[in-house]
Structure 1
Amino acid sequence: MNFRILLSMAAIVAATGQAYAQYSGDALRFSQTPFGSTARFKAIGAQTGVGGDLSSVGANPAGLGLFTRSEFSLTPEFNSFTADAQYLGQRNLGRKDQMGLAHAAVVFNSTVTKPKGAQLDKGWISFNFGLGYNRTKGYGNNVTFSGTNGVNSVADYYSELATDNYGAPSTLPVGTLERMAYDNYLIGYDAAGYYFPETDVNNVQTNTTDRTGSQSEVNFAFGANYENKLYIGASIGLASINYNSYTEYIEDGYNVTEGSDYVLNFNQRQLTRGSGINAKVGAIFRPTANVRLGATFQSPTWYTIEDTYAENLDTRYSKSVNGATQYLNDEEVYDFRYKLRTPMKLSGGIGYFFGNQGFLSADVDFVDYSTINFLPSQNGDNALINDNNRDILDNYKSTVNYRVGAEYKIENIMLRGGYGVQGNPYKNLSDTDLNTSTYSGGLGYRIRNYYVDLTYQNVGFNSDVKPYTLNNGTGPIASLKNTRHNVFLTVGTRF
C-alpha cells in the first residue's frame, strides 16, 4: 500500500472553549533542517568529511581547520515551489516563487608562529575562526485544490465535533467552531440529542494554503589544524523560526433544511516565532593523503516559541435564513507559548580525493525524532504539553539520512553533482514514498583569489492533505506531488 503524509486543515480547532492544537506536527517541521551551505556543497551534498569550504561554519566546524587563508562568500538563492494536487477527480497546480539569502560567511585564518628552524607541519598549525548566516529551511509554498464532493460536507465534520463534545445548543461555548457552525445554520440539533448536517452532498470544495517564512542560524565557529592530519572544531548556533500559514476553505452547496444555496468560508492563520541555541563539535581525520574521515555531533536546539492561531467561519445564503442572508463570526485568536527541544543529530562522512583533480564523498546522519520534547513556558498549559509529547512518542521514530556527491576539476572549472535522501520519520508509515529526495548539480569557476559557484537543486516529496476527517476515518483527500526547484549562486574571495 502506498502510504503518504496525512495533514489536516482541522488539525487545530477550538473544541472545548480552549485552544487545542496538535503542535507535534510543528515540532517535526521545525526539527527537519539540513545544514546550511554554499552553492558548492548544495551541489555536492555530502560535506562532513570534506571541509575546506565556508559551509563548515554551519556544518562540521572541523572543516575550518583546512583553511590556509582567510575567505568570504555570499550566496543568494531563488526557489520555486510547485504542488500538483489531485482532489475529487480534479487537478490543480499551486506555485510560489521566492528569493532570499541562503548563506553568508567569513573565516579568518591564523597560522601558528613557530620558532626559526622548526618543522612547520608539526604540532598545531593553525587556529581559524568563522562567522556565518545560514538559511536552513524555507517555508514558502502555495497549495490549492478543488473538486465536487458527492459523499459528504464539512458540516458532517462540524456536527460530529458538536455531538462528541457538547450537549444541547445552549452548552455550545461562544467562539468555538461548533457554535459558529450552529449559528451559521450549517448544523442542526435533533430530539435524540445529536447534531446533524443541514447541507447536501455534491458541494464544491476549494482549499488554498499559503505559507511563508524560514528557519535560520547565525553560527560562531572555531577550527584547528594539527599536523595536517587531525582537524577539530566547535560552534555555537543562534537559531530562529519565522513560520506563517494561511488557509481558506470554501464550500459552495445547498442547505436542505433552510432551502437555500450557501457559500461558507473557514479561515485559519498561524504565526509562529521562535529563537533558540545549539552547539556542534566535529573532527576530520586524514589516515592517508587521499582519504578524509569526518564526524559531527549537533546538540538539540532549545527553542522558546510563541504561537498565534486564529480562525473564523462565515456563511452566505442566496435566500434569507432566519431573517438574514449573511452570518459573520468574529475571529477567535489563541496564543500559546512553549519551549521545544529538537533531536540531536549525529553525522559521519568520508571523502576520497584524486589528488587535486576532484573527490567523491558520502555522508550519513542519524536523528531520533521520538526525542522531540515540549516543555511549558510560564503559565503554560501542562495538559496540552503532555498530549503533544505523547503524540511524539506514538508517531515518530529514529531515521537515517544519507547523501553522496562528487566534484571533478577541469582546469579552472569544477563539475559537481549529488543525491540525498531524508528518511521517513513516521513510526506507523513505512513506505519509502515518505522519504524526501534531493538531486543537485552545479558548476564552479576559480580565477586567482575569486570564485563563482552555481547550483541547481531539485527537492521532491509526496503528501496527502485532508481538509477534514470524520469519526470513521473517512474524508476527502488531496494527493500532492510537491517539488521545490532551488538555484544558488555563490560569489567569494580569499584574502
Structure 2
Amino acid sequence: MRKHFYIILLSIIGFHAHAQTYNYTDLGILFSSNNNTGTARFTGLNGAMGAVGGDLSSLNINPAGIAIYHHSEISLTYGSINHSNETNYYESTQSNQSTTFNRNQVGAVIVFDDPLIANNWSKVSFAINHQRTANFHTRNSFFGNSRFPSFISHPNDPDPENTYENAISQSFYNYIDGKSSKLNLALAGQYGKNFYAGFSLNIHHLDFSQSTTLNELSTDEDDNILDALTTENLNETADGFSINVGFIYKPIRAVRLGLSFESPIWYELSEEANTRELIASIPAENIEAADPYTNNSNLDYLLRTPSKLSLSGALVIGKIGFINLDYTYKAYNTLSTDPPQHLSNLDPINNQEIINGFKENNQYFSDVLQNTHNINIGGEFRVKNTSLRFGVGHEQSPFRKSLNARDFDILSIGDQLTSSLGAGFRFGASRLDLAYRKVLQNNKYDFNDLNQQYERINAGSVNNKNSRIIATYTCSF
C-alpha cells in the first residue's frame, strides 16, 4: 500500500509520511470512476442505451449505437451540478453545499446512407464527440475530537520530554476541483437489416487538484496549548487513450440485443505535490513558532484503469418507446499503477525502491478490490412530439465487504445509487432535451491513514447527495 511507499519516497523525492491528500491507490480508484452523463437524453435514461443507441453519448456504452441514426445530427449540452454532502467525525456533523456549471458535451454524427455501398453494408456513420466523464469537485469539512492527537510535541520546547497528548479539537478541510473528459472518434455501420457494429478510439484528458488542511489543538499537563497545522496540495494531469467495440442485433422487430467491450484507459500522469507543517508559538512558556517541515515534489507515473464488458437488452414498443437494460462487468483486477518510464535516469537502488512501491500499490488493489456488477435501466415513451424518460441504476462498490477499516487507504467508496428523469421536445429538425439526475453514495475518508500509531482513530464518513440538471439542443440535417 502507498502508506509504505510514502516512507520510501520520503528520502528519495520528498514525500512526507503525514499525508492527508489521496494516495496513488485512491487516485487509481477515483480516476476509474465514470458518471453516466452526457447529452440530456442519455442522462434522462440514466445512461441505459446499450441496445438502442441513436444518441451521441450512447457510443460510450456501445459504439454500434451510432449506426442506428437515420439522419446526421449535431448536439450541444450544458448543465449544472449541485454538490451536497454531510460529513460525520466522532458524532460531529457538518453540511457542505456548492454548485458548478459546465459544458457537458458537444458532438456530431454524419450518416452515409448510400445504396452503392457493397457487401450488404447499407449504412455507415462517423461520429466525433467530446464530453465530460467525471467531475471531481468536492468540498468536505470535518470537526470533532478523536482524543488522539497526531502532533504531540513542539520542536522549540526546551523540555524534549514534554508532550501535548490531551486533544481538544481536530478539524480537517478537503477541497477538490477538476474533471476528466473524453474525445470519441467512432465509426459504425449497419450490415443487412438487423446487425450493427461499431468501433471507437477514445482520447482522454484529466485535471485534478486537491488541497487539504488539518488543524489540531492539544494541551500538556500544564494546559499549554499546542496549535498545529498541516497543509497539503496535490495536482495531477493526465492524458490517455482507450478503445470501444460493440455490436447490436435485432432478432425480431421488437427486441434489440447489445454487446460491447471497453478497454482500460492507459494514462500517463504528472504529479506535483507540496506539504507544509506549522506549529504556533506558546507565549506563556516563551516557545517560538516552528515551521518544522516543508516539501515540494514531482513524479510521473502510469495508470491502467479497469476494462468493462456490457450486455444490453431492449424491448422496443413500435413508435411508442422502449425499455433498455444494461449490465456492466467492471474488471478491477486490471487496475494498476506503474513506475515512470524514465527510471533509467535514476540510480539502481532508488529505481528498485520506487518499483517496489508501485508493486505494493498493485498488491493493495488485489487485496481490497473486487470486480463489480452494475445495472442501469432506462425507458422512453413518446406522445407526438414529446418524449418522457426515466432511469435507475446501481453501481457496486469496488471494495470487498469482508475488510476492516484499517485495510483501506485514505478513500473508501460505497455502492452508488442513481435515478433520473427527462423530457424531450421536437420542433421540426430541432430538439430540446432536459434531464435531472440524482446520485447517492456513502464514502469514508481516513485522513489519519498514515499515522499507524493511531489505529484507534476512526475515518470520517461522507454522505453524498449530488444532483444535476442538463439541457441539450440537437439539430438534424
Q: Do both share a fold (TM > 0.5)?
A: yes
Partner of 1:86: 88
Q: Any idea what SS the aligned residue of 2:213 has?
A: strand
Instruction: Give the counterpart letter for 2:151 in structure 1.
Output: A
- Structure 1 residue 226 and structure 2 residue 195: aligned? no
CA distance in 2, matches of 1:388, 1:404: 35
Instruction: Give the counterpart letter for 2:253 in structure 1.
Output: A
Counting aligned pairs with the same residue, the percent is 23
Partner of 1:420: 393
Provide, for residues 431-450 of structure 1, a one-character-per-residue CA deviation record: whole Å limited to 9, x for no partner.
Answer: 99921111111111112101
CA distance in 2, matches of 1:360, 1:83: 32
- 1:330 Cα deviation (Å)? 5.5
CA distance in 1, matches of 2:282, 2:9: 29
Partner of 2:408: none
Partner of 1:154: 150
CA distance in 2, matches of 1:471, 1:347: 44
Instruction: Give the counterpart letter for 1:312 in structure 2.
Output: R
Partner of 2:333: 370
CA distance in 1, matches of 2:403, 2:103: 35
Alignment CA distance shift 1:112-1:453 (3 Å)? same
CA distance in 2, matches of 1:269, 1:353: 51
Partner of 2:41: 40
> Size of the alignment, in residue pairs?
450
Contact 2:111 2:124 (C-alpha < 8 Å) held by counterparts: yes
Q: TM-score, normalised by structure 2?
A: 0.88
CA distance in 2, matches of 1:319, 1:9: 36
Q: Any idea what SS the aligned residue of 1:96 has?
A: strand
CA distance in 1, matches of 2:5, 2:149: 17
CA distance in 2, matches of 1:471, 1:50: 54
Match of 2:462 among 471, 480, 491: 480
Q: Any idea what SS the aligned residue of 1:31 has?
A: coil
Where does 1:129-140 land on structure 2 (aligned, <5 Å)?
Answer: 129-140=126-137
Stretches of structure 2 that go unaligned for 5 or more consecutive residues are 344-350, 405-411
CA distance in 2, matches of 1:109, 1:492: 15
CA distance in 2, matches of 1:295, 1:372: 22
- 1:114 Cα deviation (Å)? 3.3
Stretches of structure 1 that go unaligned for 5 or more consecutive residues are 1-6, 157-180, 191-196
Partner of 2:279: 315
Partner of 1:397: 370
Q: Any idea what SS the aligned residue of 1:238 has?
A: strand
Partner of 1:241: 206
Instruction: Give the counterpart letter for 1:234 in structure 2.
Output: F
- 1:31 Cα deviation (Å)? 1.2
CA distance in 1, matches of 2:64, 2:463: 38
Instruction: Give the counterpart letter for 1:488 in structure 2.
Output: I
Match of 1:17 among 1, 11, 26: 11
CA distance in 1, matches of 2:403, 2:396: 10
CA distance in 2, matches of 1:198, 1:128: 71
Alignment CA distance shift 1:414-1:38 (3 Å)? same
Contact 2:150 2:454 (C-alpha < 8 Å) held by counterparts: no
- 1:100 Cα deviation (Å)? 0.9
CA distance in 1, matches of 2:290, 2:392: 53
- Structure 1 residue 457 and structure 2 residue 421: aligned? no
RMSD: 2.8
CA distance in 2, matches of 1:95, 1:483: 10
CA distance in 2, matches of 1:351, 1:242: 36
- Structure 1 residue 264 and structure 2 residue 228: aligned? yes
Alignment CA distance shift 1:92-1:11 (3 Å)? farther
Which deviates more, 127-136 or 35-44? Answer: 35-44
- 1:185 Cα deviation (Å)? 5.2
- Structure 1 residue 141 and structure 2 residue 138: aligned? yes
Contact 1:235 1:279 (C-alpha < 8 Å) held by counterparts: yes
CA distance in 1, matches of 2:384, 2:3: 54
Alignment CA distance shift 1:253-1:10 (3 Å)? farther
- 1:353 Cα deviation (Å)? 0.9
Contact 1:31 1:342 (C-alpha < 8 Å) held by counterparts: yes
